[in-house]
Structure 1
C-alpha cells in the first residue's frame, strides 16, 4: 500500500523527525511505501497533491495542530501523538492498513483527487483532552522562537551593559524598557550603545510572548481567522497583567468564538468576506470585551498571586520546587508535561526570577547526559542502536535537547523513565540550592557565560548525570539478575546430551 504521513511536535526539533524516521522504517519493514511531511523547525517539503491522491491512508503523528489539514479530506486517517510513532511505528502502520482496507483503499488510488467529505478526520478520532493539548502546544511551538531570540539578546545585553540596564516590570510581564534615561528610541544607539539596542530588541521580542501564545492557540483551533482575536486578546492580557494564564485563556476563548462564528449560515455573497473581515472583527470585539470587562482582572489576580508566591520561595521550599520542576522536565522528555515546566520557567524569567529558569534548563540537560554516560560505563547492557543514541546524547544533552533520551525510554520505559526523573529532580533541586541563575531561556552548556554561579551549576548537572546513570545501571542489573535465574535452571536441567555438536 501507499501511505502519506505528517509529523509535528511543539518545538519541531527532535520528536518531529524521530517520528518520521520510525514511520518510514516501519512501513519499509512491512512492505509498504510512505511519504512523510515533517512540519518541524527546519521547515518542510509539503506532500504533493498527487502523492496525497494516490495514498491509501494518512497517518497524523502530531502533538500540535497539523497545518493545511484540509488537503487530506476524504482519506482514511490514523491519528496519534509523536511519541506513539516513535515508540511503536509498526502499530500505526498496521492501523493505517486496516483503515485503508475498511475504506476500500485499493480503489482509492485511481481517484484523481480526494473527495470533498473526510471519511475519518483527526478531529473525529481525537478526544477532547488530546485536542486541548494540541491547541495549547501549537501556541507554545510558535512562541518558542520569540523566547530564544528575546531571552538570549537580553542576556547578552546584560553581559555587555551590566546593571545600568533597567527592565520595567509590571504584573510579571515586560512592559517596556528604560536605559540610562534615554527617552527617544532614535537616540538609543548614540546614548546607550549596542547593549541598549540589544536589550530593547530582546525586550520587544519578550513582549510578544503572550500575544503569540494566545494568537496561535486560536490559530490551532480555528485556523487563520483566529489569529487576530487571539493576538489582541493576548495583548490585552499583558496590559491587564494577566500574563501567561491570561494568554492561555484568551487564546482558547478566541478559538471557541471563531469556531462558533464559522458555523453561521450566511448568504453566498457574504461568505467570501466572512473569514477575512466579519469573523475576525466580531471575534476581536467579543474577546476584547470579555478580557477587559469580565475575566481579565480575576486572571490577573491569580497570576499576581502565583508571581508573589514564586518570588517568596526560599530555603527548603525553593529546592523542593526545583526538584518538582526537574521531575516534570524528565517524565515525558520533551512532551506536554516537560513543556509545562519549561513555560513555568519562562514565566519566572519574564518576571525577573532567573533561578527557576536555570533549574529547568539544567534538569532538561541531565537525561540524555546520564543515559549517554551509562552506555560508556556498562556497554554490554545496551544494544548497538542504544550505544549509537548514547553517542548523540552527549551533544543533545549539552545543548538542552531532552528528547535525546527518547530512544532509551522507548526501548525500556520502566527502567529508564524513573531513572531520568530521579536524576533530573536531583539536578533541579541542587541548582536552586546552589543559587544558580540563567539569563538565557535556552542554549544549554553553550550559554554558560550567561549563568550565575557557573561552577556550581555545572556541578549540579554532573551530579544529576551520575545519579541518572547509577539508577539506570542498578535497574538494569536487577532486571538481569531476575532473568538469569530461570535461564540457568533451564540449562542445568537440559544437560549436555541435548547440546548441539561443537557447542
Structure 2
C-alpha cells in the first residue's frame, strides 16, 4: 500500500519511480543498473530493509510504512531536495550496527528499536502459525477431534481411510507449530545482531519450548541472544581470529550463555509465568471473557496490522499453538479473527451504500476490501484509515470491540489461526460467530457514514484530479523505493 501511494504521488509529480517490495514471501531485487541511475532512494518500512547497503551513497529518505501511505508527495519532495543539495547516505563500508539499527532515523529511541526487533520475529513467525494452524484445523475437520490421539502415521496410515489423512494433516501441522517459538526467538535475535544472532536465538527458543516457557520464553530468549551477541562483538579480537568468529566462536559462546540462562536462571520463572497466564485464560468466564474480547477487538482495529494489532494476534495464536489448546484459548482466537475482519468489510460496505462520501480511488479499494476482509486481512482498511483516520479508526474500534465481546459471549471457538470465512466450517457456533461479525460491520459502517456525512464537502467535489506540476518540477528522476 505504501508502494502504491508512492507510485501515484510519483506520477502526479512527474517522477519516474521504481519499486522493490520486501515481504514475508520474499522479494525481487532491483536491477543494479536501476539503482546506479537513480537520483534518490525512499525506504518505507517497519522491519529491517534487507541488503540495504545496495542503496548506500544515494540521497535517502528513511521512514516508516505509515509515512509512505500518508504523505508520499512530501517524501518525494524531500528526497529530491536532498538530491539537489548533493546530500547522500553513508557508503557501504561506513554503515554500522544491526539491521534494525541501520533501519530508520539515527535518533530513534530504544522503544522504537525494541518494536522493530519484536516485529522482525513476529513477521517470520506468522507464516508458520498460518500453515501449522490451518493444517491442524483441517486435520480435525477431516478426521474429527480424535485425531489428536491417533498414532504416528509412520506406524499406521491407510490410504483409503479419511481418519488417516486427518491424522497426517494434524501431525504435519503439529510439527510446523513446534517451530513457532524458535523462529520467533531466532529472528528477534537476528533483528538485533544480524546473522550471528540466529544460532543462539534458535537455541534459546528451542530451550524455551523444551522447558514449557512458551511464547514468553521465546521473547526473552530472542532478546537475550541478541544482547549476548552484541556484547561479544564489542570485544577486541586479534586479527588472526576474526575469520573464525562468525562461524565458530560467536555461535559457541553465545549459545552456551543463552542456554545457561534459559535452563538455570530465568527459564523456570518464565515457565511459571506462562503457566499462570494459561491458567488465567482457561478460567475466564462471564464478564471477564466479554471484556477481554472487547479489549482484543480494540487492539485489532487500532492500527490495522501494525504493532498493536500484531500483539493481539500473537497473543491469540500463542494460546492455540499447542497440541491440545484450552477452550478459552480457542475462544480468544475466534474473537481475534472476527474483529480483524470487521474494518475492511465495513469499509467495503460503506463504499457500497454511500459511495458519494468516498473518492473514486477509495471506491475501487472498497471492492478489494470485500475479499481482504473475508480473508482476515485487516490491512484492507488501511487506505481508508490513512485518508481519514479520525473517522475510520474510532468507528472500526467500536465495531471491533462489539464483535469481540459478542464472539466471547456466544462461545465461538476456533482452532485455525487464519483463513477468515474460509474456515467457518471449523468454527464452534458458526452462525452466532457470523452474526457477531455482521453486527460489528454494520455498526462500523453506520458510524463511518454518519461521521463522513457531517463534513461540509464531499470527496467528489475535491477529487478533481491532480493539478499540473509547477514549472521546474516536470523533469523526470528515477527513485527506487524499498518498502
- 1:359 is the counterpart of 2:335: yes
Q: Distance in 1 between matches of 2:232 and 2:79?
A: 34
Most deviating of 93-102 and 208-217: 93-102
Q: Distance in 2 between matches of 1:104 and 1:347?
A: 46
| Equivalence for 2:435 | 459
The structure having more radius of gyration, on CA atoms, is 1
Most deviating of 315-324 and 127-136: 127-136
Matches within 5 A, 1:32-431: 32-104=15-87, 114=91, 116-118=93-95, 121-122=102-103, 124-166=106-148, 179-180=149-150, 182=151, 186-190=154-158, 193-351=164-322, 352=325, 353-431=329-407
Determine if contact 2:358/2:458 at 8 Å carries over to the other structure.
no
Residues 285-313 of structure 1: per-residue CA shift (max 9 Å, x gap) = 11111111111111112211111111110
Determine if contact 2:136/2:174 at 8 Å carries over to the other structure.
yes
Give the unaligned 5+ runs of structure 1. Answer: 1-17, 167-178, 484-503
Q: Distance in 1 between matches of 2:76 and 2:143?
A: 55
Residues 44-84 of structure 1: per-residue CA shift (max 9 Å, x gap) = 21023333333343322111121122323344432221111
| Equivalence for 1:497 | none
Residues 174-223 of structure 1: per-residue CA shift (max 9 Å, x gap) = xxxxx34x3x6620425962222211111111111100100011111111
Give the unaligned 5+ runs of structure 2. Answer: 460-483
RMSD of aligned residue pairs (Cα, Å): 2.3
Cα distance change, pair 100–125 in 1 and its aligned pair in 2 (3 A) = farther
Cα distance change, pair 28–277 in 1 and its aligned pair in 2 (3 A) = farther
Determine if contact 1:74/1:118 at 8 Å carries over to the other structure.
no
Q: Distance in 2 between matches of 1:426 and 1:407?
A: 23
Q: Distance in 2 between matches of 1:102 and 1:284?
A: 47
Q: Residue 79 of structure 1: SS of its match in structure 2?
A: strand
Residues 372-403 of structure 1: per-residue CA shift (max 9 Å, x gap) = 11112212211111111111111111010111
Q: Distance in 1 between matches of 2:67 and 2:233?
A: 32
Most deviating of 95-104 and 474-483: 474-483
Q: Residue 189 of structure 1: SS of its match in structure 2?
A: coil
What is the number of residues matched between the two proteins? 446
Q: Distance in 1 between matches of 2:40 and 2:235?
A: 32
Q: Distance in 2 between matches of 1:115 and 1:361?
A: 43
Determine if contact 1:73/1:117 at 8 Å carries over to the other structure.
no
Q: Residue 94 of structure 2: SS of its match in structure 1?
A: coil
Please report how far the alpha carbon of residue 330 of structure 1 lies from its aligned counterpart in structure 2 after TM superposition.
Answer: 0.5
Most deviating of 70-79 and 439-448: 70-79
Give TM-score scaled by structure 2 length. 0.87
Residues 161-183 of structure 1: per-residue CA shift (max 9 Å, x gap) = 223233xxxxxxxxxxxx34x3x
Determine if contact 1:75/1:118 at 8 Å carries over to the other structure.
no
Q: Residue 330 of structure 1: SS of its match in structure 2?
A: helix
